[in-house]
Structure 1
Amino acid sequence: MTTDIQIQYDVLSKEGLASHLKLINLRISESKSMYIVHRALVEQLHKKRQGNANCKTRSEVRGGGRKPWKQKGTGRARAGSIRSPLWKGGGVIFGPKTKEYTKKLNKKEKQLAIRNILYNKRKQTVIVNDSYFQSNQPNTKLILKNINDLKINQSEKILIILPKKDVNIYLSTRNLKNVELIQANQINLISIIRSKHLVITEKALDIIQKVYNE
């Protein structure tokens, strides 16, 4: 069962001061909050697995059609094929085979999981003006100053959510190991969970409410 929750944020200006209020409505599940988040997290982790480890069995190894030597009279152990797992270059017993790791998750379940985790992280979320990080050219020092103005510890993981790609902001933050950029319509659970602080622009917040609040 879902519940409509309204969250009120202070929108911070360039100086890190509250300029006005911003409201967001989220439809969350209070009874199965962590259950649905766990399901969505497992599904995303499954997608990251390659599953391309593969060993050949004795039926797949090339050669070995002829018996290496006769059955009796040589003094050596019996051998029927050079493809035997006992031989060097032979097949592998119980080795890994190519596998596709998939987990079924409905679109609405994934959206609900993202809404739940955003609600749980509301106290670590900061909403800033759309022009807060904008710059005419790449400037890492400016980004660090903006983060300091928000009273955020730079040694902790920070996720900045933007409405769309911005080359200057990307070039300004790519050398900052604790800062991650992401578009509002492409957010994922792993990025949100491992981040200590969420910094979201006003337009990005509107996109989140529109895309994930169906």
Structure 2
Amino acid sequence: MPTIDVYNMEGKVCGTLELSDKVFAAQVNGPVIHSVVRAYLLNQRQGTQSTLTRSEVAGGGRKPWRQKGTGRARQGSTRAPQWTKGGIALGPKPRSYRVSVNKKEKRIAMLGALSSKVSSGDLIVLDNIALEEYKTKKIVAMLGALGANGKPMIVTEAPDQKVIKSAANIPGVATAPVNAMSVYEILKHDKLILTKAAVASLEEVYGE
């Protein structure tokens, strides 16, 4: 079992924690992580882009000139794709980009993402985040003490409005409860900060 230091909000070590091998020392499967992240990004797309074809553009009902005798190329409509203000040929139309991923792949990708943070030394475990009021200054001070001034992701066991709102205006910082974590967000941020309660929750869900 990997052992990791537990920090308080002042950045001081206040204990150690043994992490589950099943959750934090799993094999990192690159192809599966890639497919899960790709599906996540595709599923964010609305798919509402649309262009007008020649049949949808206004105008163009009259033939611009007669078929023969002018010396020019024959034309049937001023709304054909080659004309200015003409319709778009083979342009995008509304469609669904939805990609499904099975539960086993999601599990493998999540365990791989968590384990990669442990192996790279980018996982930080906090004893607790205790905020009595909404204070961005306290979150900034905490991140500085932990050496996580880049793009950290703070994960709590359950949604904590004081943490969410206090960190909302800090560039590069993301917050999420355990049940809203995504593989993409874990890998996107350079540091993953988990509370002890969040670690226990992850081990309960994925350590079976």
Q: How high is the TM-score relative to the length of structure 2?
A: 0.82
Q: How does 1:76-91 map to 2 (within 5 A)?
A: 78-91=74-87
Identity of aligned residues (%): 33
User: What pairs up with 1:55-74 in 2 under 5 angstroms?
Assistant: 55-72=51-68
Q: What secondary structure, in the 3-state scheme, does the structure 1 residue paired with 2:174 have?
A: strand
Alignment gaps of 5+ in structure 1:
1-5
The structure-2 alpha-carbon separation of the partners of 1:124 and 1:158, relative to structure 1 and needing over 3 Å to count, comes to: same
Instruction: Quote the Cα distance in structure 1 between the aligned partners of 2:58 and 2:91.
Output: 17
Secondary structure, counterpart of 1:121 in structure 2: helix
Q: Paired residue for 1:195?
A: 189
Q: Which residue of 1 aligns with 2:102?
A: 106
Runs of 5+ consecutive residues of structure 2 not aligned to the other structure: none
Change (3 A) 1:79 1:148: closer
Query: Which of 111, 116, 123 matches 1:120?
Result: 116
How far has the Cα of 1:73 moved from its partner? 6.2
Over the aligned positions, Cα root-mean-square deviation in angstroms equals 2.6
Q: Is residue 5–residue 16 contact of structure 2 (8 Å, CA) maintained in 1?
A: yes
Q: 1:35 aligns with which of 12, 31, 35?
A: 31
- More strand per residue: 1
Shift in Å at residue 72 of structure 1? Answer: 4.7
- Offset of residue 54 of structure 1: 2.0
How many residues of Structure 1 are paired with residues of Structure 2 in the alignment?
204
1:129 corresponds to which of 111, 127, 130: 127
Cα deviation digits, residues 40-87 of structure 1 (max 9, x gap): 111112223343332222233345445455435677754323332233
Q: Which residue of 2 aligns with 1:17?
A: 13
Q: Distance in 1 between matches of 2:69 and 2:33?
A: 68
- 2:169 — aligned with what? 175
